[in-house]
């Protein structure tokens, strides 16, 4: 089985929350002071300042909490064949992939709805069933085809590898996208890009660091870089297609 880093949200997340609140308070006080110096008697200016500070505060807190949650959710980086053992499981490519498919379809529609309502409350919205087809084809195809392609690539390079181990590793690399799909419901584009960049980088590093066990020499760069870029491409695909 693949080891997952234990989660201790109570202490670390609360500490991050208080730090974020303290930092946000200082920023808001400074901005309020500057605003009052310019126009202390303008009501419209005060209302826009309050709106700006509210958006700044909520975005700042969400960014800090999401970073901490992602750090806690990251699986251990090294999952070599020795750790997996003689019987690697297929929990990742089966159940994690299936869960991710339904989460992308449901939460992607939810995120689209929130963005439309934020733009205009009168905008009509309907559930897009095609999200399920896109998610199923992309996730299942990726988690099955990519490990097979790397299996034959490693065979061509003269390195022995276990196809089931590759399926297992790639399946578990998708686990971090479960959390990112939840966080990207927030209808703030900058926040969404921050989440997908962090999750994509974590997943890409997870795969790349484990692929180095299968080869060495000049072939190492080809295998590691290609696996890293494919994970980044998957992260961008999720963001653009489901949380645009």
Tens of pLDDT, residues 163-221: 888 998 899 999 999 999 999 998 888 999 999 999 999 999 999 988 887 776 677 88
CB count, 10 Å around CB of 102? Answer: 14
At residue 139, the pLDDT reads 95
Alpha-helical (H) ranges within 74-129 are 81-84, 91, 97-119
What is the DSSP code (8-state) at residue 119?
H
d(CA 160, CA 64): 43
Question: Nearest to residue 174, comparing CAs of 148, 135, 212, 214?
Answer: 135
Q: pTM for this one?
A: 0.68
Do residues 128 and 239 lie in contact, with contact meaning Cβ atoms separated by under 8 Å?
no
CB count, 10 Å around CB of 54? Answer: 11
Do residues 207 and 231 lie in contact, with contact meaning Cβ atoms separated by under 8 Å?
yes
At residue 90, the pLDDT reads 82
Regions of the chain short of the pLDDT cut 70: 1-87, 92, 121, 123, 216-217
At residue 114, the pLDDT reads 85
At residue 188, the pLDDT reads 87
């Amino acid at each position: 089985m693949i080891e997952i880093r234990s989660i201790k949200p109570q202490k670390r997340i609360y500490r991050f929350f208080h730090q974020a609140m303290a930092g946000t308070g200082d920023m808001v006080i400074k901005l309020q002071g500057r605003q009052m110096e310019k126009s202390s008697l303008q009501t419209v200016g005060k209302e826009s300042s309050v709106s700006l500070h509210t958006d700044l505060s909520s975005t700042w807190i969400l960014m800090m909490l999401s970073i901490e949650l992602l750090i806690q959710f990251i699986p251990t980086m090294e999952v070599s064949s020795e750790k997996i053992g003689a019987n690697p499981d297929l929990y990742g490519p089966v159940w994690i992939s299936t869960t991710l498919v339904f989460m992308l379809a449901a939460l992607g529609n939810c995120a689209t709805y929130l963005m439309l309502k934020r733009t205009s409350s009168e905008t009509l919205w309907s559930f897009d069933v095609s999200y399920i087809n896109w998610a199923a084809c992309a996730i299942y195809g990726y988690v099955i085809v990519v490990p097979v392609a790397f299996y034959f690539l490693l065979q061509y390079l003269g390195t022995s590898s276990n196809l089931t181990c590759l399926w297992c590793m790639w399946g578990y690399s998708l686990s971090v996208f479960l959390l990112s799909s939840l966080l990207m419901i927030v209808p703030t584009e900058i926040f969404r890009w921050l989440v997908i960049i962090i999750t994509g980088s974590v997943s890409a590093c997870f795969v790349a660091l484990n692929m180095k066990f299968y080869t060495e020499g000049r072939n190492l760069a080809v295998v590691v870089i290609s696996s890293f870029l494919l994970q980044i491409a998957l992260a961008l695909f999720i963001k653009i297609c489901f949380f645009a």
